[in-house]
Structure 1
């Protein structure tokens, strides 16, 4: 069953088309990677899905429902969580307060407490920094916090926008270990990532995006072995 179906999605900035009528899908329980160079339209696609941009055309169905008719503030209660590029934590709130903000739409206090323990188990560093103001955390810790906050909403669909951007290699490794764990627990994930090799290694399928269009799609293992993809995106 497809959890997310995108058909003919177009995104424009003034007269410039950033996304040119792309179509793709994400099945329930699947992790799909959308890869491509800077300016390919990856983040614009994700921002349109998260209702942060108004598409110029196309339609998006989420669990059979037309997503573009859902007000942006209702996406969390529909089961969609976005981890934006640049993290976007609440800098003057503590780590713990940020995590609780992820659960603001939930009333199941016992389950929220259980999920908090789960998130802190995934990210032990956040447990150590629980009372620290988020704005003083390192970039990697803030990325952990942004992902943890999204998980606290108990999403069905997790949208990840460039989770490795600007992070040291060891922190990238830790972040992607958690992404693998969350995926193995059954989370449906759409991953936007400039590090194509890393994205394809953790996902089941991939779409290659160039100049606002999807040019190649296949199983991630096949894309990793594709000479054209390796030459263009894997530095070979």
Structure 2
């Protein structure tokens, strides 16, 4: 680790939970972020400042003025541009040493191969079908991922580690329609709060800290957090029976995903 890296990450290196050895580990890690909305854009900036080696960004949406109150990588000059492309440009300004790869596409089964090329996947979507695709791909390629969700003043997050924790399909049987920000609204602080917790969880996974796979629910307005243990489902389609149906051709080109 050269002097520039030592200086940039010095405030992390002095932490007993990180130190120089763990910082070196982070500098070799790659992360896929699916969805560059409220949670995803905040997480992308955190990972960039954290000092991972590479970020792969996937989002097919363009930036709208309604995004700007919570999606922190974008400004007025970015309106109508693709989120993934604009995010990549901004992240390179923040930390030019981080490799950035981006795709202006929805994450569907045709893109699941990317999961095999990273150390961790971060979920920034509010689309259950996309999450099932992520879940199937991560179980198939044995890669950990962090599930996050934020709407109104509430959020949730969970670590999913193949072979160690319950997966997303263990507690969700089939996709269902979820409330969206355009209808339910979202307080500008909530995606950032959830992203912070999610990235903290990702750091622990990347550095091999013990993770129990509980799901955490947050009421940000009333400063409440609940932790609920979720055990593996022995009849789970995905992690138990290895039925990766969401990686099939019918989930390729599935259309526009709705992102926080």
Higher relative contact order (CA 8 A, sep 6+): 1
With the length of structure 1 as denominator, give the TM-score of the two structures. Answer: 0.31
With the length of structure 2 as denominator, give the TM-score of the two structures. Answer: 0.29
